[in-house]
């Protein structure tokens, strides 16, 4: 029987934490009673620099309930870094990552543990449908997954960060030191035996989404640029095409100039390619710049998070 750690990044989640904690404690008790989880299984909240009462609640629960533990980051580092911190810090044979807002169906967890017992090192929870999402989110998510597939980035359709990982998979993940994290793209690179369970994603239990459009776009961009240089290759392709086009155009213009009398100095043929090329060049420079910035930041090898303090029994002693 594995010791199970549930890892939940939290950013300003004081509205949902009481209910989340109540349900997770009940779930762990049930898993232990059913012989699916060993004693010592616990909940690990990673407070991602919240400015509300999130950490106060976590510390309170950790003092009362032996199965609640907390890790507090020194400031907000974003969901992916907070999640990585939880995965790298929490003990246990099996780690299950999920959101704090109860959108991820807890009933999928026993099935994920069954997957682990059947010999899988990673079990992905995949959404059966996207009915709980807004039209905008549905369309953009669908388009994005298609784009990733087209670019050759290996991700599972409709899988976010609700997944089970064995200790072995976690230790393998430790070897990936990249600054820009896109865990759902990174984990499939580990290999090992994997399986999938389906679940229905609910609406957020309380509070507002902590993923504004800005953070969503940033994550989407990491997903592309961390796993493929295809956009750079696209620029080369576009450059080759444009060059070929202008060669043909020059030959045509030269032909008119030399062999006919209608060589009217064309305004359009000068202005249009000028703007077009200007745009393509700027865009290309931008994309190259983005990759260059990534290299620049990676060479600095800055730590991805700092743990300010921890609390709860899970860290060997009560260190709150
Ligand atoms: N989150 C975090 N740091 C952030 C933003 C979000 O730790 O900077 C956490 C958040 O508390 C939640 C999870 O990441 O547990 C997913 O966020 P949310 O539910 O707001 O995203 P959505 O479901 O709207 O995409
Ligand atoms: Mg959510």
What is the reported pTM? 0.81
| Best residue among 211, 212, 219, 220 to mutate for probing ligand 1, ranked by most atoms within 8 Å of CB | 211
pLDDT at 4 over 50: yes
Q: Residue 84: its pLDDT value, please?
A: 95
Task: Look over the chain and give the mean of its residue pLDDT values, rounded to a whole number.
Answer: 88
**Are residues 304 and 77 in contact, defined by beta-carbon separation less than 8 angstroms?**
yes
| Range in 6-10, 40-44, 100-104, 220-224 the model is least confident about | 220-224
pLDDT > 50? residue 6: yes
pLDDT of residue 291: 87
Q: What is the pLDDT of residue 316?
A: 61
Greater confidence, 258 or 166? 166
What pLDDT shows up at residue 319?
41
> Which candidate, 163, 76, 63, places its Cα nearest to that of 122?
163
Q: Percentage of the chain surpassing pLDDT 90? A: 50
Predicted confidence (pLDDT) at residue 318 exceeds the cutoff of 70: no
The closest residue, in CA terms, to atom 11 on ligand 1 is 10
198 CA distance to ligand 1 middle (Å): 21
Contact between 28 and 6 under an 8 Å Cβ cutoff? The reply is yes
82 lines ligand 1 (CB under 6 A): yes
Note the pLDDT tens digit of each residue in 55-76.
999 999 999 999 999 999 999 9
Over residues 190-208, the pLDDT tens digits come to: 999 999 999 988 888 888 8
Q: Does the pLDDT of residue 149 top 60, yes or no?
A: yes
Ligand number nearest CA of 215 is 1
Q: What is the pLDDT of residues 165-190, one digit of tens each?
A: 999 999 999 999 888 888 998 899 89
Asked whether residue 256 carries a pLDDT value surpassing 70, the answer given is yes
* Ligand 1 atom nearest to CA at 77: 8
Mean pLDDT of 276-282: 80
Q: Which ligand does the CA of 78 lie closest to?
A: 1
Index of the ligand 1 atom closest to the CA of residue 160: 25
Asked whether residue 317 carries a pLDDT value surpassing 60, the answer given is no
Across the range 253-260, mean pLDDT stands at: 80
The answer, yes or no, to whether any atom of ligand 1 lies below 6 A from the CB of 161, is: no
Say yes or no to pLDDT of 109 above 80. yes
Q: Is 78 in the pocket of ligand 1 (CB under 6 A)?
A: yes
The bound ligand whose nearest atom lies closest to the alpha carbon of 99 is 1
For the segment 239-246, the average pLDDT, to the nearest whole number, is 82
209-225 average pLDDT score: 87
**Going by CA atoms, what residue is nearest to atom 2 of ligand 1?**
79
Tell me, using a 6 A CB cutoff, whether residue 121 lines ligand 1: no
Identify the CATH number of the domain defined by range 4-227+304-311: 3.90.550.10
Ligand 1 atom having least distance to the Cα of 103: 23
State mean pLDDT over 297-310: 87
Say if residue 320's pLDDT is above 60.
no
């Amino acid at each position: 029987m594995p010791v199970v750690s549930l890892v939940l990044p939290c950013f300003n989640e004081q509205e949902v934490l009481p209910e989340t904690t109540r349900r997770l404690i009940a779930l762990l008790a049930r898993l232990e009673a059913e012989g699916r989880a060993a004693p010592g299984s616990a909940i690990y909240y990673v407070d991602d620099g919240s400015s509300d009462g999130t950490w106060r609640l976590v510390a309170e629960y950790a003092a009362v309930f032996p199965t609640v533990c907390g890790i507090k980051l020194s400031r907000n580092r974003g969901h992916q870094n907070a999640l990585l911190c939880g995965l790298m810090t929490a003990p246990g044979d099996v780690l299950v990552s999920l959101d704090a807002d109860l959108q991820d169906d807890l009933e999928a967890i026993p099935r994920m543990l069954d997957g682990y017992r059947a010999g899988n090192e990673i079990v992905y929870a995949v959404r059966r449908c996207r009915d709980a999402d807004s039209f905008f989110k549905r369309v953009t998510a669908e388009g994005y997954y298609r784009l990733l597939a087209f670019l050759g980035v290996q991700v599972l359709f409709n899988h976010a960060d609700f997944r089970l990982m064995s200790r072995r998979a976690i230790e393998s993940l430790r070897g990936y030191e990249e600054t820009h994290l896109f865990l759902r793209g990174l984990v499939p690179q580990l290999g090992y035996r994997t399986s999938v369970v389906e679940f229905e994603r609910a609406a957020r239990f309380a509070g507002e989404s902590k993923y504004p459009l800005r953070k969503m776009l940033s994550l989407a961009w990491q997903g592309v640029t961390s796993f493929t240089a295809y956009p750079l290759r696209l620029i080369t392709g576009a450059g080759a095409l444009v060059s070929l086009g202008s060669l043909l155009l020059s030959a045509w213009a030269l032909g008119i100039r030399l062999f006919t009398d209608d060589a009217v100095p064309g305004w359009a043929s000068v202005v249009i390619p000028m703007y077009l090329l200007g745009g393509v060049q700027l865009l290309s420079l931008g994309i190259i710049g983005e990759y260059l910035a990534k290299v620049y930041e990676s060479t600095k090898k800055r730590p991805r998070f700092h743990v300010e303090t921890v609390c709860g029994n899970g860290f060997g002693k009560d260190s709150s």
